[in-house]
Amino acid sequence: MMKKLLWLWGAASVAALVWGTRLALFVAPTEATMGNVQRIFYWHVPSAIMGLIFPYVNFIAALVYLGLRRKKPAGALKADALALAAAEVTLVFVSIGLITGMLWGRASWGIWWTWDERLTTYLLLWLLYVSYMLVRRFSSTGQTHTLAAVISVFAAIDVPVVYMSIRWWRTQHPSPVFFGGKDSGIDPSMMPAFLWCLLGWAMWGVFLLCLRYGLERRRQTIAYNTALRAVEVGLEGNA
């Protein structure tokens, strides 16, 4: 039942993405200064937003893991699976945000990359999650969860510090389009395309998160059963 619901959700997210992309490419008006290049906005901004939301899922799951680790190990493992899934989805969205951003930057600023506040922070977010994944990969089985949770806490603290420090340094990225003061915001006619794309990417992210979570939970169960069997065999051997 859950499985069917999940696949239904996945199909719905693809449908939302298709519809949003159609609106973005053919229905939304052409932007005044940048022309058709601006249409990448409808994919760039939603995935960038998602890349900033899923780290919170990862951070909260890591905190839950650290809190429950001793008291309720079984619940803590669920939190850890969620943290891993969120970290991987974060990496996907941040990568998409970086790549689409670079393409857009090349077309509208004339450069692929600049070390401004948001680009640098975003790149650092990517680097931190890559090192999170590397810690998970390199650490031996028993302690992976704890070490990864600690890295996740460090990453969560580091990102705001970087944002502040680069802000003092230099800035080129346009100021926030939404909630950025009186002159910010986009034309109402662009709104449907943007919102559909945002919805599509959000649903797609949740879909990936659930898939990866289920996969990790199965891996945990198998690892648990294997360990249990090894113990049983050992006990029988002694008897």
Instruction: Tell me which residues touch another protein (CB under 8 A).
Output: 66, 124, 127-128, 131, 134-135, 138-140, 142-143, 146-147, 150-151, 153-155, 157-158, 161-162, 164-166, 168-169
What does the DSSP assignment read for 88-110? HHHHHHHHHHHHHHHHHHHHHTS
Residue closer to another protein, measured from CB, 68 or 202: 68
Classify the phi-psi angles of 170: left when phi > 0, otherwise alpha if psi is within -120 to 50, otherwise beta: beta
CB of 165 to another protein, least distance (A): 4
Residue closer to another protein, measured from CB, 116 or 158: 158
**Dihedral angle sign, alpha carbons of residues 198, 90, 159, 103:** negative
Residue closer to another protein, measured from CB, 109 or 154: 154
Helix axis angle, 2-22 relative to 191-238, nearest 10°?
Answer: 150
CB of 144 to another protein, least distance (A): 9
Residue closer to another protein, measured from CB, 33 or 140: 140
DSSP state of 31: B
CB of 87 to another protein, least distance (A): 14
Residue pointed to by tokens 């990417």:
201
Classify 35 as helix, strand or coil: strand
CB of 150 to another protein, least distance (A): 5
